[in-house]
Each structure stands twice: as structure tokens, then as C-alpha cells.
């Protein structure tokens, strides 16, 4: 199928890729289009069809989103690799990297000088210290037992309601559009620390509300010149020794960015319409809370709780009585329930949360580093950690998973860092979102510098939708 033929079919079926077609014509609609399609999709090895063009549209959109970025590089293989800009994740992990360093690296492409780091830190901390009375009122209106993410989403919208001048449609200023505002880049760079600070305040104040701590617009305990994450932990009412502060910084680094994830795509989809970053972040967080995305961190915890509950059932069935505090560091106690879980997963009746990754076929390079972070914590009396260790041991040795190349990912262990700091499982994703906000802001800046078109994927009709006879349908 030659490029000319493809263009003819596109015109015939009225599929339009206005700027995308023009910008990537050399790579997608050039002389090697036929080979390009056939190498990437089994469907396209057949004769030209609507299915082939559906695949073509998918690949074109993928190229539009993924192929041109300098921020991140993740690769498959027996040993996965991950890079932020020009630095491998292991290199950054071994350095004394703080939030300000990784944010500056992702956004501006280099590790900051002392002055650059201090300047960025001051802007982030200034955002933490802003009075957010509207946000606090909204947070306080929620039941304390409400899922934290529901409160955070509302809190960010409340923050935005008090900042209408930052919302293009509300202020009638297309602030972030390269074609309308010559100072768009200044607007974006000013919004980045403001948005990240608002997210951190929403997360911290939500935790305080859920933990029956007081929420206050006055925060005198924060250090204007101190590390950003140090101030965030103070807002969370955590008193961390230096080694745990470093463990938190390392964890945030591992979560800082991970390519064109579903939530990141949602974020860029929103800003392609020239929306503001806080609204786009709300959309991305809502998407990221999905069970097979960022919400997997909570699903892991639910899986471990299920193994614990099943173990207790097995012990009752067998008449096993445990006097006093159950013995921890006893892998045998959990093995039967873990093996039941593994067999259910192999039969397709359940899912093994914390294992497998669409990017890494040979193992998530962050997972082993996350386990190294956990060395700074004492989990000797934590049943969930013991169960997770047993799940990893049994699943990693199982031929079924080994044949499929399914290995543990960062979700299996990442949550234990936040729990080890004294936070409840419901706060795992919110804290991880503070980390991932760095990558979203960096991608926003990079994306808008290309003056992108609004995302508007087209659809192809595959035929009439079968009608339903509602008179015979039981409701």
C-alpha cells in the first residue's frame, strides 16, 4: 500500500489528520509507508482495509505523542533501562538527588546549579505557604472517611476557583498558547511550581483532615529555604530522621516520570485544548486512579489483605490457634493462601497485582531500587510486608510467570515506603502523584513549545449498532 494510496483512502473516508499529517509526512506518509505499516501490525500485512487504516491512525497518533521527547527513555529487554534526560535512573539514584533537582532536570534539561536550585525551591515553598482558605473549606466539608483521592480532586478545583486569572477561558486570555501569547513560556514556567505546590497542599491537608488533625491556613512551621519535600512532610505532620527523608527523596525520584502513561496522555490531551495545568492535572489524577493504572498501588494492598484474611480462614478450618501476637517472619504461615492466589491468577480468575509491566518485559528497573529504599525501614512486625515477600518468592519461581516474562514492578514495593513513614495505604497514590507531577509539568512545557494542535482523533464507523428491543428487555 503506497503512501499515495493511503492518502486517497484517507480522503475517501474523510479521516483528517491536519497538522499531524503535515508534521510527520516524512516518517509516516513517505516512500516507506508500506514497510512501516507491515513491520508494525499483523493487520496491515493483509490487503488495504478499514482495519488497516484504523491501525494507521493509531500509529500516527502514537508517533504524534511519543516519538519526539527528550524527557524520558524506557526500553524493553531482559534488563529494563530507564533514563531521565541524559541520566540513567541508577546514576541519579546513587546521587544525593532532591525533588528540586529532579524537577529542574526534567523541565529544563540539566541538573541545577546551587543558585538555580535555591530559586526553584523558593518558588515551590512560596506556593506551600500561600493561604488556601477555599481549598481548606472544601476539604473540611468531606466526611473524614472519604477516599483521599476524591477529596484531593475537589480540593484542586477549589484552588483553581480562587485563581481564575490562571484559567484561559475564565480570564479570556489564551495564556499558554504559543500562537496567541509571545510570553507563553514565561506563563508556563511560572505556573509549574505554583501547580506542584497546590497539589502538595491538597494532598497534605487531605491527610490531615482524614487523620483528624487540624487543617490551618497558617503554616509557620515551614522553612522557606528548606527542601520542598521536607516542608511537605511537615504539612503531613511527619517527623522524619535524615535517613528516612533520603528514602522519601529516592522514592519520589523513582516515580518522577514514566513516559506516555494513560494519565500523562490525559494531561496532554487537556492542555492541547489550551487548558490550565491544574484542571489538566485533575483530569490526569482521575484517570490515574484507575485500578490498572496508579490505582494499582491500592489494589496491591487489597490483594495482600486478601491473602491475610484467607490465611486466617485456613487456620480456623484447620483448628490452628495462635496465642498472643502472631509470629511474623514466618513465610510458611502465608504460603498456602499465596499459592491459592497464584493458581487463581493462572486460571484467569484473579489478577496478580504488582507484577508485569507494559513497558518492561524483563523486569521493572525501579522495583529493585525500591526494595533497596525499604532497607531503611523496619518491617519486622508488618504482616503485609511478609506476605508481599512470599508473593514475590512464589510468583518469581513459578514457570507460568517465568515463561511469560512477568516480573515484579514498582507497585509491589512502592507503597511500603509511604506506609513505613506512617501514612495509611489510601495515601500511597496521592504521595506518588506529587512525584509524577514533575514529569507532567516537564511534558507540558516541552509539548507547548511545539505549538501542538488540539487532540481530536477521528473515528471510523464499523457498521450499524444492533438495535435493542426494549419491550422485551428486563430492567
- Is residue 207 among the annotated active site residues? no
Res. 123 pLDDT band, cuts 50 70 90 = very high
DSSP helix/strand/coil, 450: coil
Residue 351 and residue 354: Cα distance in Å, rounded? 9
Residue 223 and residue 227: Cα distance in Å, rounded? 8
Catalytic residue among 65, 364, 398, 411: 411
Residue 383 and residue 305: Cα distance in Å, rounded? 9
Summarize pLDDT for 277-336 with one digit per residue, the tens: 999 999 999 999 988 888 888 888 889 999 999 998 888 888 776 655 555 556 678 989
- Please give the span between the terminal C-alpha atoms of the chain, in angstroms, as a whole number: 48
The separation between CA 168 and the C-alpha centre of its own chain, rounded to angstroms, equals 26
Give the up-direction half-sphere exposure of residue 466: CA atoms within 13 A in the CB hemisphere. Answer: 3
What is the pTM (predicted TM-score) of this model? 0.81
Residue 141 and residue 426: Cα distance in Å, rounded? 19
Residue 251 and residue 248: Cα distance in Å, rounded? 5
Catalytic residue among 72, 207, 258, 357: 357
356 or 109, greater pLDDT: 109
DSSP helix/strand/coil, 72: strand
Summarize pLDDT for 154-196 with one digit per residue, the tens: 999 999 999 999 999 999 999 999 999 999 999 999 999 999 9
What are the C-alpha distances in Å from 163 to residues 80, 93, 159, 276, 279? Answer: 42, 36, 7, 11, 11
In our burial notation (b when 16+ CB lie closer than 10 A, e otherwise), range 443-461 reads bbbbbbeeebeebeeeeee
What is the 8-class DSSP label of residue 113? Answer: P
Asked if residue 165 lies in contact with residue 171, where contact means CB atoms within 8 angstroms, the answer is: yes
- Is residue 381 among the annotated active site residues? no
Amino acid at each position: 500500500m503506497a503512501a499515495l494510496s493511503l492518502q486517497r483512502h484517507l480522503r475517501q473516508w474523510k479521516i483528517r489528520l491536519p497538522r499531524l499529517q503535515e508534521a510527520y509526512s516524512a516518517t509516516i506518509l513517505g516512500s516507506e509507508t508500506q514497510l512501516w505499516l507491515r513491520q508494525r501490525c499483523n493487520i496491515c500485512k493483509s490487503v488495504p482495509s478499514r482495519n488497516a487504516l484504523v491501525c494507521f491512525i493509531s500509529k500516527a497518533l502514537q508517533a504524534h505523542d511519543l516519538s519526539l521527547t527528550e524527557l524520558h527513555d524506557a526500553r524493553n529487554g531482559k534488563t529494563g533501562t530507564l533514563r531521565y534526560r541524559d541520566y540513567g535512573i541508577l546514576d541519579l539514584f546513587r546521587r544525593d538527588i532532591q525533588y528540586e533537582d529532579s524537577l529542574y532536570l526534567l523541565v529544563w534539561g540539566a541538573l541545577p546549579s546551587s543558585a538555580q536550585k535555591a530559586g526553584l525551591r523558593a518558588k515551590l515553598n512560596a506556593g506551600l505557604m500561600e493561604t488556601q482558605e477555599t481549598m481548606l473549606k472544601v476539604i473540611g466539608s468531606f466526611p473524614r472517611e472519604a477516599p483521599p483521592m476524591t477529596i484531593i480532586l475537589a480540593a484542586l478545583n477549589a484552588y483553581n476557583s480562587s485563581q481564575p486569572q490562571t484559567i484561559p477561558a475564565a480570564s479570556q486570555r489564551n495564556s499558554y498558547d504559543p500562537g496567541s501569547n509571545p510570553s507563553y513560556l514565561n506563563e508556563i514556567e511560572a505556573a509549574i511550581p505554583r501547580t506542584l505546590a497546590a497539589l502538595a497542599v491538597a494532598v497534605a491537608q487531605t491527610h490531615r483532615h482524614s487523620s483528624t488533625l487540624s487543617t490551618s491556613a497558617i503554616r509557620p512551621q515551614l522553612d522557606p529555604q528548606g527542601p520542598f519535600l521536607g516542608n511537605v512532610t511537615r504539612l503531613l505532620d511527619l517527623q522524619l530522621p535524615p535517613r528516612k527523608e533520603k528514602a522519601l527523596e529516592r522514592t519520589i525520584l523513582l516515580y518522577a516520570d514514566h513516559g506516555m502513561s494513560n494519565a500523562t496522555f490525559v494531561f496532554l490531551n487537556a492542555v492541547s485544548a489550551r487548558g490550565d495545568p491544574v484542571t489538566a492535572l485533575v483530569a490526569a489524577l482521575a484517570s490515574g486512579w484507575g485500578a490498572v493504572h496508579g490505582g494499582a498501588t491500592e489494589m496491591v494492598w487489597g490483594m495482600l489483605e486478601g491473602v491475610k484474611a484467607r490465611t486466617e480462614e485456613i487456620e480456623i478450618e484447620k483448628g490452628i490457634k495462635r496465642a498472643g501476637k502472631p509470629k511474623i517472619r514466618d513465610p510458611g504461615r502465608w504460603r498456602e493462601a499465596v499459592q491459592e492466589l497464584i493458581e487463581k491468577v493462572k486460571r484467569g480468575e484473579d489478577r496478580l497485582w504488582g507484577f508485569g509491566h507494559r513497558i518492561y518485559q524483563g523486569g521493572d528497573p525501579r522495583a529493585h531500587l525500591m526494595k533497596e529504599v525499604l532497607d531503611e525501614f523496619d518491617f519486622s512486625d508488618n504482616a503485609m510486608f511478609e506476605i508481599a515477600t512470599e508473593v514475590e518468592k512464589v510468583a518469581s519461581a513459578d514457570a507460568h510467570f517465568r515463561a511469560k516474562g512477568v516480573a515484579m514492578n514498582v507497585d509491589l514495593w512502592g507503597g511500603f515506603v509511604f506506609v513505613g513513614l506512617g501514612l495509611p495505604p489510601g495515601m500511597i497514590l496521592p504521595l506518588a502523584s506529587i512525584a509524577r507531577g514533575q514529569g507532567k509539568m516537564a511534558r507540558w512545557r516541552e509539548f507547548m513549545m511545539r505549538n501542538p494542535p488540539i487532540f481530536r482523533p477521528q473515528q471510523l464507523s464499523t457498521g450499524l449498532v444492533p438495535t435493542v428491543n426494549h419491550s422485551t428487555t428486563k430492567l
